[in-house]
Structure 1
């Protein structure tokens, strides 16, 4: 299958999936933090959150990947001697990929989460407080479940885009399925065959993800009725 390169491309597919899942985990954490900052009544925190979202969303993903991987590596190696470390530090492409994609999509998710929190009627939290719930209980028992339901459509879109964006990490040497497909194409001079196979794998991954997230959305929407005006 695929001139003997099928197994190596499938190994790269597992690495791609691990990269996507790890990056989205980091992105969710940064997205929640960014949303909290942007909704904060403390002005400098709100400004910091807005700056993060605006700057990251305004720079192309590939530029950020190259900047963080090569520029970050150069910066670390310039600073290392100042603390007495003279060995050359080589950043792992997987770690760089997770950090970069997580940082990028954290900015997008901060907008998704912020919009979801703002869509929850203020009276929901006030009602929880009136029943004697603490602020933490109100947040986790009332606000977060509703936020998840409202954020799933935006989260789904970001997950699909992030999954496809993992292909960009191959430019820094990560041996994901895109990197391995290119190596196989160069060796066999059959680029159409291998890139078509990778396209099919990405389509399979995004299609399964879409079905799973739609099922999750239906679960969180159980008992919710839409009022038509």
Structure 2
């Protein structure tokens, strides 16, 4: 039985697309921050390890919702000041940009630990083999370390992405019209909360299933060479 959406079907589809865009943008930012954080935490320099550890600890210790509110409302004066410097009056951070920064920041903090564990799991002999072949540190990292780290980190990153997909609902509190915001508007108009919230639940479930299939494909692809060598 198909529920009566009272004409809000297109709005929910638009909200789903917005959720996907927000999740992917946050993922991209989070992967960069996570990789940088892991490199900082495994750096031979104490200052870099302190920076990486501080970022990971502080961000993971504060709820994601608070980060969303802090970045959206707490940067208003800063963004306006930057706007005056570049000649743009009333410059403001959009809900999408604020949500991307907040969720990317949180994803990156957790991804830091995933990447760090993957880096530490790579035998030191692989780096030594690269040096013996005359490779520079940059080529060793890009050709030897990064592919292995990516393969080892994928399962953990996949779990974090599932959480990220659901955390996008938090951005509805600052007005971004993703799935939850669209559902709330539909509930207010139709007075049928169960119908629209159950539809939203199934949309999130569908997105999660699609993400799981994608992660399975990536894990299988990343482990192809490893599987052959192990056989």
- Equivalent in the alignment of 2:99: 97
Instruction: State the shift of 1:220 in Å.
Output: 1.7
What's 2:23 paired with? 20
Superposed counterparts of 1:204-215, under 5 Å: 204-215=206-217
2:72 corresponds to 1:55: no
Task: Give the TM-score normalised by the residue count of structure 2.
Answer: 0.92
2:73 is the counterpart of 1:70: yes
Alignment counterpart, residue 114 of structure 1, candidates 95, 113, 116: 116
Aligned mate of 1:6, from 5, 9, 14: 9
1:71-90 matched pairs, under 5 angstroms: 71-77=74-80, 79=81, 83=85, 87-90=89-92
Distance in 1 (alpha carbons) for counterparts of 2:86 and 2:119: 46
Give the secondary-structure state (helix, strand or coil) at the position aligned to 2:62. coil
Query: Mind listing any 5+ residue stretches in structure 1 that lack a counterpart?
Result: none
Which consecutive unaligned segments of at least 5 residues does structure 2 have? none
Corresponding position of 1:157 = 159
2-structure distance, mates of 1:149, 1:18: 25
Contact 2:33 2:108 (C-alpha < 8 Å) held by counterparts: yes
SS at match of 1:2: coil
Distance 1:132 1:30 in 2: 30
Question: For 2:185 and 2:95, how far apart are their aligned partners in 1?
Answer: 17
1:223 shift after superposition: 4.6
Label 1:121 to 1:177 Cα distance change in 2 as closer, same or farther (>3 A). Answer: same
Counterpart CA distance in 1 for 2:7 and 2:20 is: 22
Contact 2:83 / 2:90 at 8 angstroms: preserved in 1? no
Q: 1:111 to 1:9 in 2, by over 3 A?
A: same
Aligned-residue Cα RMSD (Å) equals 2.0
User: Structure 1, residues 110-131: CA drift from partner, whole Å, max 9, x if none?
Assistant: 1111110110000011111111
Once the two structures are superposed, what CA deviation does each residue of 1:82-125 show, in whole Å capped at 9, x if it has no partner?
Answer: 85969433321111111111111111111111110110000011
Shift of 1:135: 1.3
**TM-score, with normalisation over the residues of structure 1?**
0.93
